[in-house]
Chains A and B, each alone.
Chain A
C-alpha cells in the first residue's frame, strides 16, 4: 500500500483531524485590540457614513477609456457570443441578440451609445451584462480591469460637456487604483439603450 506523502491526504483521516484542529486554533485566537477597535468603529458608524466610505465598481476599458460601473448594477460578465442582427431594429447602438446559457441577451454598443470612438470590429474579450432579469442589457468591452473600490472623496464631477450632453450618463469621475474612471450611471445608460430601440 502506498504511504501518503503528505499530511492531509484523504487516505489518512488523522491528518484531517490535525488540520481541523489547526484551523480551529487560528479562528479562535483573540482579536488584536487594533482590529477590534477598527471593526467596532465601522459597525458603530452611521449607515450613511458607511455607505459613502467606498463603492465597489467593475472597471472596464472601452474605446481607449476607463469606465466604472457600480457592481450592484452588474448582473454578470460572460464571454462574448455571436451577435445576430435584428432586422429593421439594429443600428449603431443596438447590435442584435446573442445567446448566453439559453438567454437571448440584447447586445448594445457602448461606444456608439456614449458617442465615443466607434467600434473597430475587433473581437472583444468579454460581455458585460447590466440590469435585472426584466431589463437586462449587454455590451462588449475591450478589457475587464477588475472589481475595484472607489474610496470616499476620490471622485470629482464630470465635465459639463459630458453631463449636459444628450447621451451623457457619466455620474462622476472616480479615482480607482487603475486610474480615474468615468463612473457610469447604469440607469442613465439603460435609458440611452432603450432610446435606441427604434
Chain B
C-alpha cells in the first residue's frame, strides 16, 4: 500500500471520486432542468476525466471504462452530436452511482467486486456508447393509488414507518457530511475534512504564538536588568545618605529616575506583549472553532438527486433549489441535519406537492418548487424547507386533537395556529388506522423535533392552505461552544447551557412554600418543585438555606427548580466529550475548561428532565422536603469547631465560647477536625498546632485548599510564641495567631468575635 500524507492511494481515490460524483450529479441535474444550457458540460467532462485518471492510477478498470464512456457522452453533447435527453441523463446518473459505489469498496475486495459487477459495467458502457435514446414526452403517469393525493383533512398526521414506496425509489445511501463510512473496517481515529486555508491560518497562528512565546525570556531579562539597576541605585543612595554626600545623593536619584523610565518602557513592552499574545491566542481559538465548519452544501449535496428521483417516481414536476450552500455549518450539526431534512423534503414531495393536474386546476405553475435554505441570523443557523404545495389545514389538526381526546372541543377551538402546528411534533400523534405506505405530514416530525431540541434549537411550522408549507429550524451555529450559566454545587462548578434552561432566579425564603412536605416556589404562576442540585449530582445533600439560588429547567409541561449553592456567572464554554471510559454519566453531557483553567461539567438538562420523572416515581429520588430547609432564624447560633489534643485546653476553649453564646464542636486532632469540617457546617475553626495525625498547620493548609472553606475564619491558638511560628500559621492561611496565654487577657474572645461576629 502506498501512503501519501497518511492516506493510502485507495483512500485518496475514494475521496476524489466522492467529490467528482457530487459535481457530476449536480451538473447533470442542471443539464436536465435546462437541456439547452450546455455550460455545465465542461465541468462534467473534467469530472469524468478526473475519475478516469484516478481510477487508472489505482488500477480499477471497471471505473476507468465507465468514466471513459461517460466522458465520451459528454463530448458528443458538447459537440452537438447528440441532444440532451432524459434517458441519457438517466444513464449518466446511473454511471455516476456506479462510480460512487465502486469507490466505497475495500481495496482488497475490488477485484472480486468488479468481477461480480462485470455485467453491469458492460450494460452501462454499451448503453452510454449507443446513440442517444429518442426523447420521450413525459407522460402524465397515473399516480399509484397509494400515492394519490388526498384532501388535506385526510392526510395522516403521522405515520410511524418510513415511506416505503419512496425508500424503494432511492436506495442509495444519502451522502453524509463526513467521508463515507463504507464497509471498510472502522478506523480507530476519526478523520475529518478541514479547509486548507483554515489549516494554513492555524499553522500561521501557531507559528506566531511560538514566536511571541520566545519574546518572553528577553522581556524577563530586561526587567531583571531594571531591577538590578534599581538595586544598585538603592545601595548607592543608602551609602550617600549615611555619608551625607549630596552629590552622590543627586546621582543616585538620577539613577532611580533612569531606572523608573526604563521600567515604564519595559511595562509598555510587556503590555504590548500581553495584548499581542491575547490577540494571537484568540485568533487561533477562532480558527480552530472555524475548522469545525463545513459549507452547508456539503451536507445536502445528495438532496437534489433524491428530489429528482422521488418526484419522477410520483409523477410530479419539482424544481429544487438550495440557497446558502456556502453558509458554514458546524460539522456535527450538518451530520445531524441530514435525517430530519430527508424526512421533511420527502414529505413535502409526497404530500405537500399536488399532482400536476391539481396544480393546473388551481392555477398554480405545473412545476412545483421546494427550496432548502440556510443562513446565519442573529447568531443562529436558520434552516428552512419551503414548498409551494397544498399546505396544511389547521382545522384538520384541530379535529384530530379532539378525535384523539387530547383536548376538549372547547379548548381545542381556542388553540392558535402555531399551537396547533406544534401538535405535529408530538410523538404518537397519529392513529394506527391512518398508517399508509405513503409518508404522511407527521412522518419523522417528532424525530425532527428531537434532533433540533437536542442541539438547543427550535423548529416550527408555517403553512397556508393552498399556498405551501415552511419548516423553519433555528439551530446554534456550532455545537462546540455553548453559552452557559455557571453555578456552584457542593463547592464545584457546573454549567447549565443557557439554551436549555428556563431561567435562573433567587428565591427569598418567604417565597418558598411547601406542598405535601415538598418545597416549591412560584414560576410564572406555576408551582415549581425544588430539587437539591447536590443530591442530583451525587454530592451529598445540602438543603436550602436562606435565599435559594435556583436554576429552572423544563417548560410548561413540567418545571423543576434545581437549588444550587450559588451563581458564578455566564461564560462561553468550548465543550468536549467526557472520557468514554466513564460511560454515560447521569445528568452530565460534557466537560469544559473554565477561564481559570479548572474543569467544569456541563449538565445534561434533557437527561435530567427525562430521568427525574422516573426516579421521582420510583422513589429513588425526591424533591426537597421541609426538613431540609434551614431558615436563617433556625440557625442563628454560630458554630465553631475547636481542634485541640489537650483535653484541658480544649475544655477551656469550649467553655469560653459556649459562655459567649456560640455552639461548639470539638475535635481531638487535625484529622478529626478535617473530617468534621467536611461533614458538618461551621462558621469558624479554632485550632492548635501540635497535634497527632495531622498538625494544625497541615489542617489549615488543607482547609484553605478546599474552595468550600476559602472564607472560613481560622484562628490558631498555640503555646508556640516565636515569630517564625506565628508567620508559619498565618502563611498557611490562618486569619489570626494567638498564644494560649490569650485566654487570660481576653484577646482570644476579642479575636473570635472579631472574626466570626456575635454568636
Which residues on A are within 8 Å of B, measured CB to CB? 81-82, 84-90, 96-99, 102, 104, 106, 120-123, 134-135, 194, 197-198
Q: Which residues in B have their C-beta under 8 angstroms from that of A98?
A: 599
The answer to whether the Cβ of B591 comes within 8 Å of any Cβ in the partner chain is: yes
Contact B601 A122 (CB under 8 A): no
Contact A89 B599 (CB under 8 A): no
Alpha-carbon distance A106/B583, docked complex (angstroms): 13
Contact B705 A123 (CB under 8 A): yes
Contact A122 B702 (CB under 8 A): yes
Contact B579 A104 (CB under 8 A): yes
Interface string of B491-505 (1 = CB under 8 A from A): 011000000000000
Contact B694 A85 (CB under 8 A): no
Q: Which residues in A have their C-beta under 8 angstroms from that of B598?
A: 81-82, 84, 99
Q: Is the interface of B mostly helix, strand, loop or mixed?
A: mixed
Alpha-carbon distance A194/B580, docked complex (angstroms): 12
Please name the 8 residue pairs, one residue from A and one from B, whose CB atoms are nearest each other, closest first: A87-B537, A84-B599, A87-B538, A88-B586, A88-B538, A82-B598, A99-B599, A99-B593
Q: Is the interface of A mostly helix, strand, loop or mixed?
A: loop
Contact A197 B581 (CB under 8 A): yes
Q: Which residues in B have their C-beta under 8 angstroms from that of A85?
A: 492, 539
Contact B601 A87 (CB under 8 A): yes
Alpha-carbon distance A121/B678, docked complex (angstroms): 11
Q: Which residues in B have their C-beta under 8 angstroms from that of A90?
A: 538
Alpha-carbon distance A86/B674, docked complex (angstroms): 22
> Which residue from B493, B593, B601, B694 sits with its C-beta under 8 Å from A120?
B694
A-B contacts counted at CB < 8 A amount to: 71
Contact B588 A86 (CB under 8 A): yes
Can you sample 23 A-B contacts with CB below 8 Å? Answer: A81-B598, A84-B493, A85-B492, A86-B578, A86-B588, A86-B601, A87-B537, A87-B539, A87-B587, A87-B588, A87-B601, A89-B582, A89-B585, A90-B538, A96-B599, A97-B591, A98-B599, A99-B597, A102-B593, A104-B593, A106-B581, A122-B701, A197-B583
Alpha-carbon distance A97/B579, docked complex (angstroms): 9
Contact A97 B599 (CB under 8 A): yes
The answer to whether the Cβ of B353 comes within 8 Å of any Cβ in the partner chain is: no
Q: How many residues of chain B are within 8 Å of chain A by beta carbon?
A: 31
Which residues on B are within 8 Å of A, measured CB to CB? 188, 492-493, 536-539, 576, 578-579, 581-583, 585-588, 591, 593, 597-601, 671, 674, 694, 698, 701-702, 705
Best-surrounded residue of A81, A86, A194, A197 (most CB of chain B within 10 A): A86
Contact A88 B698 (CB under 8 A): no
Contact A104 B576 (CB under 8 A): yes
Q: Which residues in B have their C-beta under 8 angstroms from that of A97?
A: 579, 591, 599
Contact A123 B579 (CB under 8 A): no
Best-surrounded residue of A86, A87, A98, A135 (most CB of chain B within 10 A): A87
Q: Which residues in A have their C-beta under 8 angstroms from that of B694?
A: 120, 122
Alpha-carbon distance A113/B578, docked complex (angstroms): 22
Q: A87-B539, A88-B587 are in contact. List 6 more A-B contacts (CB 8 A).
A: A84-B600, A87-B536, A87-B585, A99-B599, A122-B694, A135-B581
Contact A120 B599 (CB under 8 A): no
Q: A106-B581, A121-B702, A122-B698 are in contact. Are A84 and B588 (CB under 8 A)?
A: no
Contact B576 A197 (CB under 8 A): no
Contact A123 B538 (CB under 8 A): no
Alpha-carbon distance A87/B588, docked complex (angstroms): 8
Q: Which residue of A lies closest to B588 (CB)?
A: A87
Q: Which residue of A lies closest to B574 (CB)?
A: A102
Contact A84 B601 (CB under 8 A): yes
Q: Which residue of A lies closest to B678 (CB)?
A: A121
Q: Which residues in A have their C-beta under 8 angstroms from that of B583?
A: 197-198
Contact A87 B586 (CB under 8 A): yes
Alpha-carbon distance A87/B701, docked complex (angstroms): 26
